[in-house]
């Protein structure tokens, strides 16, 4: 151990606590999720920051002179371009700089790397409000989600990746005196072992969660000794640009080449993702986004980690409190307008209805109950706009406009509500479609955004079989289930787990299917078509480096 690593010593208490949490899987975070836990003037400074950075060059990065400046982000709340431009260089320049930075970073001991990375997370936490407003005006997430998802929750996942890597690499001795008794003499050798990173990593960001879906891979690369190039989605650059800038600053302060991490921005009309992904020097690729491009990434002859599209289901069998269940489902469907990879899409209901404490609710009553709960939420002036946020892309909005072509019967049409703070915000409430299980081809694909199918099935057994089939064929990241019968619960658990899909049972109140907690819940299993990787399992870390041993006589 390098005891001279000042930053490691500074953050040792956090590292030790996180190591415990990693094993016990209980609740843990060093980054409170309430904005009130941070600087009193943080929100005002965040607003001032976003106003100042708009229509200007982003000059915070420490990665050399720009050859050009690019940027075409549009605020879903303002319906205006935010005007921020980012430095751009050639593909070979990015790769050359990463290659040069890799040399020293790979030889930096694990304790020093851990100290630097946890310090970087601390610096990032000082800018949570800046990142919040950057997230709002690129993704359409509402204020609270922007703060939590791009702030503390992202830091949690990044720290989890760091600690998982730290645990793996420190689990093996760096050197030993090896002695094998041979009878009249002993065979003596000196041995050492090195965890050597596979090489430069490329992390491809998405438009809806530009920080949360990027930092686990980035910090996994860094803790395992790999330089990284971040290629954000061209419509959501600013939030992750701030993160990269803070990491670079800490690296520079520690006399480490800041190009260990670089931001490589592009535009929709001049994309560079494939050029980077296919470059021979890129050894690791992480991707979050649609399945078509994800399948291309998986076809590369590299070590790749993907999170793609899935079709998430809820199975309704029996409930104790129907109103609480419908309210929970409504919130999950409305949160960020369903633009979450964990949002429920298909709700399976038996044609004979569901059992409740007050008797049986028919299929039609269940549909009406879900619609009523969604309507109550979105029409609530104190909750509607803050829950829905805004629609990030035209593609999602157009899908919603053409919801009548998806099959079934639209029983709750999408509508626009007013956000009092942002009058021009692109807002659309969820549409609800009632449909029969016989129309499988209508609901057997991801309809990203605020679209919910309530599917009438012959029985709960059919509901389970359909949810299982969808997860096996199309992939699933989450599954919700409501039943008061223990045997049914066991059947659902077995069926969905067999296709590598986790189940959330009987969620009401503050527990939602959308939410996964770092240090406790694995995000995506990596076992079905929704993606080949999981945040943050051991495999997510150890495939980024190899052990090499040396022996000395």
Determine which helix (DSSP H) or strand (DSSP E) holds 240, and give its type and residue range.
Answer: helix 238-253
- Quote the pLDDT of residue 56: 98
Measure the CA–CA gap between 234 and 70, rounded to whole angstroms.
9
Q: Find out whether 483 and 493 touch, Cβ atoms under 8 Å.
A: no
Sheet holding 261-263, edge to edge: 261-263, 228-231, 200-204, 282-288, 303-307
Backbone φ, ψ for residue 399 (5° rounding):
-60, -40
User: What's the CA gap between 418 and 440, in Å, rounded?
Assistant: 35
Q: Which domains are present in the chain?
A: 6-308+533-552 (3.40.605.10), 313-505 (3.40.309.10)
Looking up tokens 């038996």 gives 350
CA 489 to chain centre: 28
Instruction: Please report the pLDDT score of residue 5 as a whole number.
Output: 74
Closest CA to 9 of 126, 114, 163, 122: 114
- pLDDT lower than 70: segments of the chain: 1-4
Three-state SS for 374?
helix
DSSP H or E stretch at residue 314: strand 313-316
**Is the separation of the CB atoms in 126 and 151 below 8 Å?**
no
Contact 131, 211 (CB under 8 A): yes
pTM of this structure:
0.96
Residue 211, both tokens:
């920080």
What is the pLDDT, as a whole number, of residue 2?
45
Q: Strand 261-263 and strand 313-316: pairing? A: unpaired
Q: How many of the other CB atoms lie within 10 Å of CB of 292? A: 9
């Amino acid at each position: 151990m390098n005891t001279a690593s000042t930053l490691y010593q500074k953050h040792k208490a956090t590292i030790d606590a996180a190591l415990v949490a990693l094993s016990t899987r209980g609740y843990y975070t060093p980054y409170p999720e309430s904005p009130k836990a941070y600087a009193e003037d943080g929100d005002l400074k965040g607003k001032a920051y976003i106003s100042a950075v708009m229509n200007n060059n982003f000059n915070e990065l420490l990665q050399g002179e720009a050859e050009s400046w690019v940027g075409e982000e549009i605020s879903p709340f303002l319906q205006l371009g935010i005007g921020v431009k980012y430095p751009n260089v050639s593909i070979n320049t990015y790769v050359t700089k990463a290659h040069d930075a890799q040399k020293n970073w790979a030889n930096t001991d694990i304790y020093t790397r851990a100290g630097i990375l946890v310090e970087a997370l601390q610096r990032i936490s000082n800018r949570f409000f800046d990142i919040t407003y950057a997230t709002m005006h690129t993704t359409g997430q509402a204020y609270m989600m922007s703060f939590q998802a791009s702030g503390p929750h992202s830091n949690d996942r990044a720290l989890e990746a760091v600690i998982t890597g730290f645990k793996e690499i420190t689990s093996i001795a760096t050197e030993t005196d090896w002695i094998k008794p041979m009878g009249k003499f002993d065979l003596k050798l000196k041995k050492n072992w090195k965890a050597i990173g596979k090489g430069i990593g490329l992390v491809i960001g998405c438009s809806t969660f530009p920080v949360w879906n990027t930092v686990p891979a980035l910090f996994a690369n860094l803790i395992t000794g790999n330089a990284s190039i971040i290629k954000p989605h061209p419509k959501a650059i600013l939030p992750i640009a701030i993160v990269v800038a803070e990491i670079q600053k800490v690296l520079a302060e520690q006399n480490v080449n800041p190009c260990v991490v670089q931001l490589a921005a592009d535009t929709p009309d001049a994309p560079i993702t494939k050029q980077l992904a296919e470059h021979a020097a890129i050894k690791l690729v992480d991707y979050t986004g649609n399945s078509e491009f994800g399948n291309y990434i998986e076809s590369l002859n590299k070590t790749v980690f993907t999170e793609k599209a899935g079709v998430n289901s809820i199975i309704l069998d029996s409930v104790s409190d129907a109103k609480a269940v419908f309210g929970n489902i409504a919130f999950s469907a409305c949160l960020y307008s369903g633009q979450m990879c964990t949002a429920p899409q298909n709700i399976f209901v038996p044609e004979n209805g569901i059992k409740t404490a007050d008797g049986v609710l028919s299929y039609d009553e269940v549909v009406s109950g879900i619609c009523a709960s969604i309507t109550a939420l979105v029409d609530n002036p104190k909750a509607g706009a803050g829950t829905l946020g805004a629609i990030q892309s035209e593609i999602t909005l157009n899908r919603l406009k053409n919801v009548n072509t998806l099959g079934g019967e639209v029983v709750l049409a999408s509508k626009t509500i007013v956000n009092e703070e942002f009058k021009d915000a692109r807002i659309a409430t969820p549409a609800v479609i009632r449909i029969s299980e016989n129309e499988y081809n209508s609901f057997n694909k991801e309809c990203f955004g605020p679209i919910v199918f309530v599917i009438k099935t012959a029985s709960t057994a059919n509901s389970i079989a359909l949810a299982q089939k969808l997860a096996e064929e199309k992939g699933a990241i989450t599954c919700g289930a409501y039943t008061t019968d223990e045997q049914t619960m066991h059947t659902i658990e077995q069926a969905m787990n067999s296709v590598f899909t986790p189940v959330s049972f009987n969620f009401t109140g503050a527990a939602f299917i959308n939410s996964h907690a770092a240090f406790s819940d694995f995000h995506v299993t990596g076992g079905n078509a929704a993606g080949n990787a999981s945040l943050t399992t051991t495999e997510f870390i150890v495939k980024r480096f190899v052990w090499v041993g040396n022996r000395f006589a």
